[in-house]
Amino acid sequence: MHERPDGSLVEVDVSIPSQARRVVLLDNGLGAPHEYWDWVCDALPADMGYVRFNRPGYGLSTPVAQYGLHRHYALLQELRDTYVPGLPVVLAGHSLGGYFVAAYASRHPGALEGVSAVVMIDATEVTSLRHSRRTDIDRWARQSLVMEQAYAWAGLSAFRPAKNVNQQYRPEINRSYTAFLTNPCSWATAHREYRDAMTYPELTDLDCPLTVVTAENNVGDNTMHHAVQARLAAISKRSRHHFIEGSDHESALAVPDHARQVAEVIAGEPPTGRTGPERRQTATKDRPAAVRDTEREEELT
């Protein structure tokens, strides 16, 4: 547990081996615990440490009545100053966490000092989120978060988990994840974060190497989702856009093969210029030529 200056606590998991030459700071998605980075952390090279944590209100971290972007920036800076002073840092986040790390890097004074790259994994794009306000999608999202909180209070979440439905982590991680989902505070925090995200500023400029990792499959319109992700890649002049074939929003981290790709991107060389969409060659070379040609035409378009 990390104790903050105000006496509140933040649940952290820190692993920085003696041979570490760099560290990745991992920021979770909405309604998800730090354990869901487990496969990614396992696949990191020996010279790379990690810091992962639960935001206030998640897991064992002290809940707060109000949070907001600037308080989160302060927490990220505090974790860096405490656990990784003097080492280069990669900032990586999934879903809403992807937005958080990019917003911190682009908007917090001095944040880029020591940052070698930013990695956004199927990240939330707040402009599109705002455009969904008061639509059926927004109403269903809000209703679902309230329902999950009620299920947690009633003790039903353990039998019908809303996340990690395929239970592809190690048994101890699955048990911890289930305990997280059965805590009503987790869903109350997720509901607050969802409302707050509607007010967050659009990301427009990032003076840092950026990799946007996109899940191939998404609930809804895949073409629109890929276009939204491409807009995120455009905020940096040094960026790449990497697709994980066969993945969806959750499995990008929950399936070992997908998580290994994420770890490779995090640990790999950052982009030096702006590149187009890329897919793992071994995953595409066996696809029918006609399918590959169609995909290439779509990418060029």
In the block, residue with structure tokens 């427009």: 204
Residues listed for the chain: 301
pLDDT at 151: 87
pLDDT at 280: 57
> ∠ CA(181), CA(55), CA(192), 5° rounding?
70
Answer whether 44's CB lies under 8 Å from 22's CB: no
Mean pLDDT by 10 residues, the chain (301 residues): 94 96 97 96 97 97 92 97 94 98 96 97 93 87 91 82 82 92 95 95 96 88 88 96 94 95 97 78 39 38 36
Contact partners, residue 297, CB within 8 Å, separation at least 6 = none
pLDDT at 164: 80
Q: For 133-168, b where at least 16 C-beta lie within 10 A, e where not — what string?
A: eeeeebeebeeebeebbebbeeeebeeebbbbeeeb
pLDDT at 281: 43
pLDDT at 279: 63
Answer whether 245's CB lies under 8 Å from 284's CB: yes
Sheet holding 12-15, edge to edge: 12-15, 48-53, 22-27, 89-94, 115-121, 210-215, 239-244, 277-279
Nearest of 98, 113, 112 to residue 242 by alpha carbon? 98
- Rounded-to-integer distance, Cα 253 and Cα 176, Å: 16
| Cβ atoms within 10 Å of 67's Cβ, excluding its own | 17
Contact partners, residue 264, CB within 8 Å, separation at least 6 = 43
pLDDT at 156: 81
> What CA–CA distances, in Å, run from 6 to 2, 3, 111, 140, 212?
11, 8, 22, 37, 35
